[in-house]
Amino acid sequence: MAKPVIGISTYLEDAAQWREWRLPAALLPVGYHQLVQRAGGLAVLLPPDPAPDAARQAVARIDGLVIAGGPDVDPARYGAAPHPETGPPARARDAWELALLGAASEAGLPLLGICRGMQLLNVAHGGTLLQHLPEAVGHGGHGGPPGTFARHRVTPVPGTHTARVLPAPLSVPTYHHQAVDRIGTGLTASAHATDGTVEALEFTAPGPFALAVQWHPEAADDTRLMRALVTAAAGREAPAGS
């Protein structure tokens, strides 16, 4: 049986360096594609594409979608002025990933959002973000020093799909300074940190597999979330006309 094809959105950087080269690059930490592979899927990268119909065409060729972590979502997307701690906007990536989310929703494509991916899913459904979480919770425990994951405990909400995939509290790798504030229409919080921060979202109404988490499963050994996505992707019916 062919492996389900899992598309992963990527960074788009003005300058990346490897060996003697320093060039613009579409890139992604290896943990993402390796997690897909360990979970039984075939990983493909989906760099930003400005073509009007590109997201719909990409979604038609994959079996599941991962919206990866990355830079802060542009506050203009949820009607807010930028906080002094909010990073520079990645407008091309915002536009591309929002288009992917819209196309995935229309196609009933299984979806997993990771960190920024969860925040963007919330914004796509009319929600808002806390732009600097340490001000709200009074500590910096959701991220380590620059480039270093912290760890904290997450508790899934009983009765949710998230809790069926992850039935017990768990320690997760985390690196973020923003978080969900007002939850978007049709979404519900399905896991929390001990300080109350929303750590997972899912849709309120039953539908195709769609989960989003604030932590970074690609930085850990636990494959359960990605296996759930790959399993859903493997059982998805082919789109009409494909």
CATH class, range 5-234: alpha beta
The pTM assigned to this predicted structure is 0.95
Q: What single-letter DSSP state applies at residue 217?
A: G
Active site residues: 115, 216, 218
Query: Which pLDDT does position 1 carry in this prediction?
Result: 79
3 state DSSP class of 17: strand
Query: Which pLDDT does position 241 carry in this prediction?
Result: 30
Beta strands in the chain (DSSP E): 5-9, 11-18, 21-27, 42-46, 64-67, 111-114, 129-130, 150-156, 170-174, 179-180, 187-193, 198-203, 210-213
Query: Which pLDDT does position 48 carry in this prediction?
Result: 97
Query: Which pLDDT does position 239 carry in this prediction?
Result: 36
Query: Which pLDDT does position 240 carry in this prediction?
Result: 30
- Reading the chain (242 residues) residue by residue, the pLDDT tens digits are 799 999 999 999 999 999 999 999 999 999 999 999 999 999 999 999 999 999 999 999 999 999 999 999 999 999 999 999 999 999 999 999 999 999 999 999 999 999 999 999 999 999 999 999 999 999 999 999 999 999 999 999 999 999 999 999 999 999 999 999 999 999 999 999 999 999 999 999 999 999 999 999 999 999 999 999 999 999 974 433 32
Please say whether the beta carbons of 63 and 234 come within 8 A: yes
Please say whether the beta carbons of 167 and 176 come within 8 A: no
